[in-house]
Amino acid sequence: TCDTGDQQTTAAVQLKEAAATIVEGLRDVATHEGEDAVFECRLSQETAQDAQWFLGDVPLQSNEMNEIRVQGTRHRLTLRKVTLEDCGSISFQVGQHSSAA
């Protein structure tokens, strides 16, 4: 607001939050059947609402076999007690950015 005494004008500032980008991508993991496989990605900011993990083309959710955790800018997927059927591409997507291992 600018006030000169007998005149006043007001303006507003609106900001759009910048989209999150992947700062540190996924790395390949080799493990033995029955062990856990852990994948981690680091983003440019903490407030990424649209982050999603995939095994092949299948979206993953946190459950007894998959643990999905977010700690700050770090997003972690743990595949528990992997089997040969879990072999394949793991990918992480946020907005228009993705990383695969």
Average pLDDT along the chain, 101 residues, taken 10 residues at a time: 84 78 92 94 84 92 92 94 89 92 94
Phi first, then psi: give them for residue 85, nearest 5 degrees. Answer: -70, -15
Enter the tokens of residue 23: 């700062």
Return the pLDDT at 52.
94
Q: Taking the CA atoms of the chain, what radius of gyration do you get in angstroms?
A: 21
Phi first, then psi: give them for residue 84, nearest 5 degrees. Answer: -60, -25
Parse the chain into domains and list their residue ranges.
22-100
Q: Which of these CATH numbers, 2.60.40.10, 3.30.420.40, 2.60.120.590, 3.20.20.70, describes 22-100?
A: 2.60.40.10
3-state secondary structure of 62: coil
Query: The pTM is what?
Result: 0.79
Return the pLDDT at 2.
85
Return the pLDDT at 73.
92
Return the pLDDT at 86.
83
> How far is 38 from 40, CA to CA, in rounded Å?
7
